């Protein structure tokens, strides 16, 4: 759905920007130009932004690691004298 006709900004554009890290409506405006021309779309654009934020945060809040990352093991064999890991391994 097109949210901002003046700048051809869709709801998907706004959702994508939020997923990529846009954390304020002003960042979305700077990236897309949404609600910077006639201003008719500002309410809808802001609502879409807030909706995207809620969806994005809900998705991240529900992330459960299926396979926890394996512990990193530094073997003494690879931590030679002079290697910054050497002292860690030897401690
Ligand atoms: S419709 Fe968005 S600024 Fe005009």
Fold of 2-61: Arc Repressor Mutant, subunit A (1.10.10)
Cβ pair 70, 45 in contact under 8 A? no
Q: Where are the alpha helices (DSSP H) in the chain?
A: 11-19, 25-32, 42-61, 86-90
Whole-angstrom Cα Rg for the chain: 23
Distance of alpha carbon 18 from its chain centroid, rounded? 6
pLDDT range class, residue 91, cuts 50, 70, 90: very low
> Which of 2, 5, 47, when mutated, tests ligand 1's pocket best, judged by the most ligand atoms within 8 Å of its CB?
5
Residue 26 has pLDDT above 90, yes or no: yes
- Kindly compute the dihedral angle of the four CA atoms of residues 49, 16, 54, 68, in this order, to the nearest 10 degrees: -160
Two structure tokens written together for 12: 């998907």
Listed by start position, the domains of the chain span: 2-61
Task: Please determine, for residue 68, whether its predicted confidence score (pLDDT) is greater than 70.
Answer: no
């Amino acid at each position: 759905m097109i949210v901002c006709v003046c700048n051809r900004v869709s709801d998907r554009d706004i959702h994508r920007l939020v997923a990529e890290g846009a954390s304020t409506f002003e960042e979305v405006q700077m990236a897309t130009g949404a609600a910077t021309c006639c201003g008719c779309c500002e309410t809808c654009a802001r609502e879409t932004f807030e909706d995207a934020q809620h969806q994005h945060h809900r998705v991240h809040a529900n992330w459960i690691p299926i396979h926890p990352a394996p512990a990193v093991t530094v073997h003494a064999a690879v931590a030679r004298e002079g290697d910054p890991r050497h002292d860690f391994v030897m401690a």
